[in-house]
């Protein structure tokens, strides 16, 4: 029996893709080499546009535990600089403080609800493909086997087996001299600053919480999470770090003293805790995201510094961009070239994330010339326009695609709207949880023009102080009109993005 889509990798990106495919009526088979979901100290939360994206899939409440919609963060950091986001007219930086393993758990539950099969302890070991199918070789708990699928997606991380089997290059740069250390800890209460929640350290002064605190010797960060173990981390530029012995709390204490110039009395956490040392880092981007019937998402396509937390924002939106296009191909209504737009749209976004994470790493580096650069950069951040630019860049709110059409909304992400549907107040997020293309008809004149696409496009008459808009499932606007919309232009956009009309 042939599968529709096999996804190699059951991390958040692979699971998000399985959710998107399930919403589109496509069954996904997810292969994950780990035998069970284990809490691991990876991402500590979600940052940027992806928070609003999850809201538009009905997943924000599951993750946050609150029925309230997401709201932007009043502050954040860029390269160790605080960003006064509350002063912006349009703050795009949303934050959801949920650790990665909880994100994976919620996405796995939702994928299974939508018909996905998750095979844990199974790993892709080989593949071949022809014009009709991909044959995957898999190693499982009871032995090796093969299965056939119409498409295979590599969501298997920076060391992606799928990418290597395809021979896709992964050029970039590696840094061997940066050493990051991290541990779950407790600290004496008398060192906590009541006003800020940071650390008030004799000999070092106030170290604010949840920021990268740079000195001439390295970087120190203190994260006193309210509902999970506190984290202390350091970064040093030390080419002689030991990569053989196990990481210890004493090692982190010594690193903190070198960075801050004073002792930090770190204590073990209550219960189990993590200790991690990471030497070096990679910034790499796959030469291409697709090889015929095999595609790459997330870290399989790009790796970069975790500074600023952009990884899940980038990877999960890769999955949402790809999901509806892959489903359209499988359902037979995809217009020519639609699947190729996955790479042409998402690879430039990854290039931009690589740029701003490298810039942040440079701003945190030691040396008097970096200190001078930081002084200048701090002056630039006194201008709210520059803060807005950085916030848009970090959040992904500045992403615009070339989708055709002259209206200023076309190519951008649809703004959050309060709508009146049949006399009921609705949010845009209420109408997008199905992940179907959506026509918001604010003129009550477009139903006839869109009638040939209602098998794949939802048409909703709404009252709103907004233009009529046609949205892709990933939330981007492909057509908009303020008044007296042209039905022919709407039909052209429907055909371009969602195929020929029914019966054509």
Beta bridge partners of 296: 154
Residue 306: both structure tokens together: 């975790």
Residue numbers in the chain where pLDDT is lower than 50: none
pTM score of the predicted model: 0.93
d(CA 417, CA 39): 36
Q: In CATH, what number is assigned to the domain containing residue 211? A: 3.30.70.2450
Model pLDDT, residue 438:
98
What pLDDT digit, counting tens, does each position of 48-80 carry?
A: 999 999 999 999 999 999 999 999 999 899 999
Question: Are 17 and 113 within one domain?
Answer: yes
Residue 428 resides in a domain:
yes
Question: Are 73 and 139 within one domain?
Answer: no
Backbone angles phi, psi at 458, to 5 degrees: -85, 130
Question: Are 20 and 150 within one domain?
Answer: yes
Q: In CATH, what number is assigned to the domain containing residue 17? A: 3.50.50.60
Question: Are 296 and 319 within one domain?
Answer: yes
User: What is the DSSP secondary structure assignment for residue 94, as one 8-state letter?
Assistant: B
Question: Are 348 and 372 within one domain?
Answer: no
- Cα Rg of the chain, angstroms: 24
Among candidate residues 264, 282, 300, the one where a domain is terminated: 282
Q: How many residues does the chain have?
A: 504
Range of the domain at 66: 45-98+365-399
Among candidate residues 332, 361, 390, the one where a domain is terminated: 361
Sign of the dihedral through C-alpha 318, 319, 320, 321: positive
* Terminal-to-terminal C-alpha distance of the chain: 32
Number of structural domains the chain divides into:
4
User: Nearest-CA neighbor of 107 among 75, 155, 144, 74?
Assistant: 155
Residue 298 resides in a domain:
yes
The greatest distance separating any two alpha carbons of the chain, rounded to the nearest whole angstrom, comes to 77
d(CA 316, CA 336): 25
Question: Are 117 and 36 within one domain?
Answer: yes
Residue 392 resides in a domain:
yes
d(CA 187, CA 164): 44
d(CA 67, CA 4): 35
Backbone angles phi, psi at 155, to 5 degrees: -120, 40
Residue 504 resides in a domain:
no
User: Nearest-CA neighbor of 362 among 232, 223, 237, 241?
Assistant: 237
Q: In CATH, what number is assigned to the domain containing residue 476? A: 3.40.30.120
Question: Are 197 and 146 within one domain?
Answer: no
Question: Are 136 and 30 within one domain?
Answer: yes
């Amino acid at each position: 029996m042939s599968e529709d889509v096999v996804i190699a990798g059951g991390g958040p990106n692979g699971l998000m893709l399985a959710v998107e495919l399930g919403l589109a009526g496509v069954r996904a088979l997810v292969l994950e080499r780990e035998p069970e979901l284990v809490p691991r100290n990876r991402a500590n939360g979600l940052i940027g546009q992806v928070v609003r994206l999850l809201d538009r899939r009905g997943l924000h409440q599951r993750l946050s535990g609150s029925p309230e919609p997401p709201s932007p963060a009043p502050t954040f950091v860029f390269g160790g600089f605080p960003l006064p986001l509350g002063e912006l007219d349009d703050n795009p930086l949303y934050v959801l403080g949920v650790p990665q393993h909880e994100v994976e758990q919620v996405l796995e539950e939702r994928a299974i609800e939508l018909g996905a099969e998750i095979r844990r302890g199974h790993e892709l070991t080989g593949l071949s493909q022809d014009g009709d199918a991909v044959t995957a070789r898999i190693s499982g708990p009871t032995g090796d086997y093969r299965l056939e699928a119409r498409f295979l997606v590599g969501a298997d991380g920076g060391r992606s087996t799928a990418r290597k089997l395809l021979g896709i290059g992964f050029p970039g740069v590696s840094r061997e001299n940066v050493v990051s250390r991290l541990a779950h800890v407790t600290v004496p209460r008398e060192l906590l600053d009541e006003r800020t929640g940071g650390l008030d350290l004799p000999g070092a002064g106030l170290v604010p919480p949840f920021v990268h605190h740079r000195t001439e010797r390295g970087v120190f960060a203190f994260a006193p999470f309210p509902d999970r173990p506190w984290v202390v981390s350091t970064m040093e530029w030390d080419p002689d770090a030991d990569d053989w012995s196990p990481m210890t709390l004493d090692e982190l204490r010594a690193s903190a003293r070198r960075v801050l110039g004073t002792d930090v009395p770190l204590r073990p956490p209550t219960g189990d805790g993590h200790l991690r040392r990471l030497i070096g880092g990679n910034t790499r981007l796959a030469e291409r995201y697709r090889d015929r019937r095999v595609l790459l998402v997330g870290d399989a396509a790009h790796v970069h510094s975790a500074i600023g937390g952009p990884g899940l924002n980038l990877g999960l939106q890769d999955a949402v961009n790809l999901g509806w296009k892959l489903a359209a191909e499988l359902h037979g209504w995809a217009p020519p070239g639609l699947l190729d737009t996955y790479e042409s749209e998402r690879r430039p976004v990854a290039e931009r994330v690589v740029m701003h994470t490298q810039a942040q790493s440079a701003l945190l580096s030691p040396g008097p010339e970096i200190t001078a650069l930081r002084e200048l950069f701090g002056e630039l951040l006194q201008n709210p326009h520059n803060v807005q630019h950085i916030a848009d860049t970090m959040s992904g709110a500045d992403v615009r695609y070339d989708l055709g059409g002259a209206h200023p909304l076309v190519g951008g992400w649809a703004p959050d709207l309060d709508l009146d549907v049949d006399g009921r107040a609705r949010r845009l997020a209420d109408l997008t949880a199905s992940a179907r293309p959506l026509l918001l008809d604010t003129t009550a004149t477009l139903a006839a023009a869109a009638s040939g696409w209602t098998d794949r496009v939802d048409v909703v008459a709404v009252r709103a102080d907004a233009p009529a808009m046609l949205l892709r499932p990933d939330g981007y606007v492909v057509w908009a009109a303020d008044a007296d919309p042209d039905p022919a232009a709407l039909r052209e956009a429907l055909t371009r993005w969602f195929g020929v009309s029914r019966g054509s």
